[in-house]
Amino acid sequence: MIEDIVSISTLMICTFLSTTVVGIFMLQVWLTDRRQTAAGYWCLSMWVGSLCTLLFTLRPLGIPVVTIGLGNALAALGYALMWAGFRAFDRRPIHLLVVLAGPLLWSAAYFGLRPVAEDVNNRIILTSLIISGYSIWIGLDIWRGRLGERLPTRSIAAIFFMTHGVIYFLRVPMAVVSPAPMENGTAYSAWFALFSLELFAHTILAAVAMLVLIKERSEARYRKASRTDSLTGMANRGSFLDDMRTHLAAGNEGTLMIFDLDHFKSINDTHGHLAGDAVLIRFSARVSSWLEEGMLFCRFGGEEFALFAPRHDIDRAEVFAELLRREVAAMSVPTEGHDIGISVSIGLADVATFGTDFDRLHSAADRALYAAKESGRNRVLRATPSAGLTDVAGRMRMPAPASAAIAG
C-alpha cells in the first residue's frame, strides 16, 4: 500500500528541514536589501511553515489542540504570508483581513464546531478549501504581473501555483467519497499519502520559484541600469548604439536626429549645475512625451541627445523635429525663483541618403547640427551630400602642413 511506503511523518520532517533552509536564505536576502519586502514575507512564510510541519510531526504524541488546532492555523497563515509576499513582489496592496482570514476561519471552525474538531475528513475539507484558495489567488496574481514585468519564470510559477490549488482542492471530494481513517494522530490512506507527497514537492518548488524570481528581477534591474542614463532615465549612449545597429542591420529606413541644447554651458555657469540637471531632465521628459511607437531616444552625452525615427523619410522627420523644437522653445524650467528659458538646435540625416553605416549617418547629422548652431541656433537643419563634399573640397584647398612640405 502506498500509505505504508510514503510515511507522512517522514515527509513532514523533510518539509520542516527544507522550509527552514529556505527561510534562512530568504532572511539573508531581506537583511541584505530591506527593500525586498517580498523576501521578508516569504521568510516569515517559511518559518511559519517550519513550525507548522514540526507540530504535524508531533501528532502521534497527542495534544491535538496544539498539533492539530495550532498546526493547521499556522499552515493557513503560512500560505497567507506567501500570498502577501507575492502581492508585495508586484507592489500590489496587501490586505490584513485577507492574511488573517484563513487562520481565523480555521480556528473558529476547529474550536467552535465539534464536527470539525472530531472528524479528520472535515478538517481535511476545510484546510483544503483555505489552502487551495490562497494558492489559486497567488497563481492569478503572478499571471497578471506578466503585463508589467516579463520575468522568464513568471508563467511557470503562475501555472504551478494554480495547478497546486486545483490538486489540493481534489482532497475535498476524496474526503467525501473515500473518507480517510485516523492512525497515529493523522489521516491514513493511499490518497492522503499521495496528496501529502504532492504538498512536499510543492513546498520545495515554491521556494525555488521565489528565489528564482528574486534573482531574475535583480538581473533585469541590473540590465536596465546598464542601459539607462542615471540622470534623465533615458537610454544611454551604449544601449542606443546597440539598438541603432540592430535597426540598421535589418535595412530599416529612418532618420537620425542629433539635439544640442543651446547655451547650456551658460546655464550651468549662471544658475549652477543643479539647474543644468533640471533642464536636462525636463527636456528629456518633454521630448519623450512626443515620441511615437518604435522611436529610439537617448542622452548621447552632456547636453547632446539623439533620436532615431524609423520609417520617417527626411521630410517627415523634419516636420517632427520642428515640432519638438517649438515645444522646447516654449518651455521654461523654474529653479530657485528663476525661470530658465531653453532652446535646442537639431541636425538631421536620413538612411536613404547616407546609408546604413551608423558612423556616416551620425557624422552627417552632426555636421547639420553644427551648421544649425553656427547659423543662429534654435533651428532644424537637414544634412545633404553636397555639404559633406564641400567640407572635403575645403580641406583639399587648405595649404599643406609644413611637415608635409618639408617631406616633399
183 and 59 Cβ atoms separated by less than 8 Å = no
Q: Is 3 a catalytic residue?
A: no
Question: Cell 549652477 identifies what position?
Answer: 272
Closest to 160 in 3D by CA, of 178, 185, 183, 138: 138
Q: Cα-atom radius of gyration of the chain, to the nearest Å? A: 33
* Residues linked to residue 155 through DSSP beta bridges, in sequence order: none
* Long-range contacts of 188-195, Cβ-Cβ distance < 8 Å, separation of 24 or more: 188/3, 188/8, 189/3, 190/1, 190/2, 190/3, 192/3, 192/8, 192/124, 193/2, 193/3, 193/5, 193/6, 193/8, 194/2, 194/6, 195/167, 195/168, 195/170, 195/171
Q: Is 309 left (phi over 0), alpha (psi -120 to 50) or beta?
A: beta
Among 3, 198, 303, 304, which one carries the catalytic annotation? 303
Strands (E), 164-219: 182-183, 186-187
Tell me whether residue 252 is exposed, middle or buried, using C-beta atoms within 10 angstroms of its C-beta: 0 to 12, 13 to 18, 19 or more. middle
Parallel, antiparallel, or unpaired for β 332-335 and 296-301?
A: unpaired
Q: Which of 395, 388, 354, 358 is nearest to 370 (CA)?
A: 388
Query: Which candidate, 201, 129, 196, 141, places its Cα nearest to that of 166?
Result: 129
Active centre residues (catalytic): 303
